[in-house]
Amino acid sequence: MRAVLGWGLLSVLSVSAAAAQDVTQDVTTVRTESFPRPPYSGATYYVYERAGRTICTKLAVCNKFDQCETTYVRGAFRAPEDTATGEPYGTTPATPITPASLAKHVCLTRFGQVRR
C-alpha cells in the first residue's frame, strides 16, 4: 500500500514540477543592482528578465536631493563607470511581476514586451 502511495505521490510531484517550470518560463522578474556615483549620488539598475534572459535595463542615477535621470536600454547594460567599480554594493533578488502590473513598467512597454 505504501509503495503505491509513494509512486502516486512521486508522479504528482513530477507533474507539478514540470508545470511550475513552464510557468516560470513566462514570468517576468525585476531585480536591482546599486552602485555609488561621486559626489553624493548613486546609480540603480533595474534588470528585467524572462526565462533567464535580460529583456531590458532601467538605469536611474539620483543625486543627494533625489533628483534622478532615467535611461532605458534594450538587453543587459552597465555604464562604463559602474563596470570599473566592479561588483554592486547592493542588490535585491529577482521578484516576479504580476501580469496585471506588467504594463506599468516603462522598460517593458518601451521595447514592445507588453501592450499598454
C-alpha cell at 71: 535611461
Statement: the pTM of the whole predicted model exceeds 0.95:
no
The mean pLDDT of the chain is 84
Q: Which domain holds residue 51?
A: 26-110
pLDDT attached to residue 21 = 44
**Using alpha carbons only, how large is the chain's radius of gyration in Å?**
20
**Is 4:69 a contact under the CB 8 Å cutoff?**
no
Q: What is residue 113's predicted lDDT score, i.e. its pLDDT?
A: 84
Total domains in the fold of the chain: 1
The dihedral through the CA atoms of 97, 101, 107, 113 has a sign that is: positive
Instruction: Examine residue 2 and state whether it is found in any structural domain, yes or no.
Output: no
In a domain, residue 45? The reply is: yes
Task: Tell me if 11 is assigned to some domain.
Answer: no
Tens of pLDDT, residue by residue over 42-62, are 999 999 999 999 999 999 999
Whether residue 14 is predicted with pLDDT greater than 50 in this model: the reply is no
Q: Would you say residue 83 lies in a domain?
A: yes
